[in-house]
Amino acid sequence: MNSSAASERFAKAVFVLFQIKIITFILWFFFDKPDVWISNFLTYPIGVMGFFCAAAEFFKKNSRSRMTVGGLLTVMLLGSISISVLLQNLLLNDSIIIEGMTPGVVSLTYLLVGMVWFFLGASVQAISPEGLNRKIIFLPAVVLLLCVIANLNEGLILDYKSISSEKAGDLEISHLTIGSYAVIASLMAIAFFNRPFKLIACVVGALLFFFLGGRANLFIFILTCGIFYLPKLGLTRSVIVFFALALFSVALLFVFNFDLTDPQVQKMIFYDGISQDQSEVARDIFFQGALEGLSRQALYGDPAYLIEKFYSLGAYSHNLLSAWQFFGMVPFFIFSTSIVYVLRKIISHRSVLKNPMDEFGVLLFIFCVISVVFAKSINFNPFWMALGFWLFRLSGVKFKKHRPI
């Protein structure tokens, strides 16, 4: 067996473990069985195996005499963040405790979790889609959809208070708890669907995110599918398909007893206007606070600033500026450069990015870029996965031609 085949088998093992992690987490989330420690434990083998798989891919494509742009950005990104975290642990005041951790430990935790997802993305991109069992690909999405429908009860949006009450201790869960897994499961399933069913899968995915109650994920998901699929149809067919899918979605909502008087439904559609939405008002305040703290956080970041100003670690800016807050100016600019580099490469290679794994990567990248520009922080794990996927995928890969998606 040659090294490439062995590397791909290793990458498949990482992928399968991640699918198992998603499924076990979903089952715990809705039914409290199996115990959540199983899903949490799988993070360690995924991280370790993903690291070695990414390292093998890196050294296969890079050398001392020749470093690809993707390889250089990978080294600069992870290296600069690691230096920032080290400086935080050496220099920041550790008298401020954030959820039981010092500021440096908080940033270290975010870095380690982010690296697991980064290496996961680097591993997944090495897999040939022809060698994947489609049952494994679709299973997390199917399990999630069935679990959500089974727990809707009489409403259109999950009752998270009821679900939280079944968990041990004072654990509070929400759409944010399961959001990252829902994004990966849904986009992966759509990418591997046969062409005639992709748009129907998009509608089902949109309904799924509506049921989960996360507005950002819902609207970004719809926007992602529209950006990727509608231009392929041409203007006339795009308009026809858009209105047909809109009518189909409305019909499905009424099948599930759509109730405009439901406060949760009103919140999902900004019934009282964006300016009256408490979440959006809070985000505006956090963003202004982030701008005020840029100079203090420029060198290597400082999450303690969030506690001092807002008394909450969750008061970070819900966009890419959070990279500056947690890790400093240099990682922020490298994140930004990586986004621009990947975006330009995807556009220039769009004629040969034809297989379902590439399609998943493009969908994930579009979703994550929109997310970190408008709605989510640097702690949005799929964003790290998308960067790992493309910084490795675009590093010296000879793309194989497949049938158009």
Per-residue pLDDT of 351-395, as tens digits, reads 778 789 999 999 999 999 999 999 999 999 999 999 999 999 987
In the chain, the percentage of residues whose pLDDT exceeds 90 is: 50
Alpha-helix runs per DSSP H in 230-355: 235-255, 263-268, 278-292, 294-297, 304-310, 321-327, 329-348
Q: How confident is the model at residue 405 (pLDDT cuts 50, 70, 90)?
A: very low
Number of domains in the chain: 1
Residue 190 belongs to a domain:
no
Is-contact 361 383, C-beta < 8 A? no
Residue 198 belongs to a domain:
no
What Rg do the C-alpha atoms of the chain give, in angstroms? 21
pTM for this prediction: 0.91
Q: How confident is the model at residue 28 (pLDDT cuts 50, 70, 90)?
A: very high
What pLDDT does 132 receive? 83
Taken as a whole, the chain contains a residue count of 405
Residue 191 belongs to a domain:
no
Closest to 15 (Cα-Cα) out of 95, 193, 144, 134: 134
Is-contact 22 181, C-beta < 8 A? yes
Per-residue pLDDT of 234-261, as tens digits, reads 767 777 777 777 777 667 666 666 666 6
Closest to 15 (Cα-Cα) out of 92, 124, 144: 124
Residue 337 belongs to a domain:
yes
Residue 34 belongs to a domain:
yes
Three-class secondary structure of residue 98 per DSSP:
strand
Per-residue pLDDT of 104-145, as tens digits, reads 888 999 999 999 999 999 999 999 888 788 888 999 999 999
Residue 308 belongs to a domain:
yes
Residue 318 belongs to a domain:
yes
Range of the domain at 107: 3-132+220-393
What pLDDT does 172 receive? 78
Residue 199 scores a pLDDT above 70: yes
Residue 205 belongs to a domain:
no
Q: What is the 3-state secondary structure (H, E, C) of 134-198?
A: HHHHHHHHHHHHHHHHHCCCCCCCCCHHHHHHCCCCCCCCCHHHHHHHHHHHHHHHHHHCCHHHH
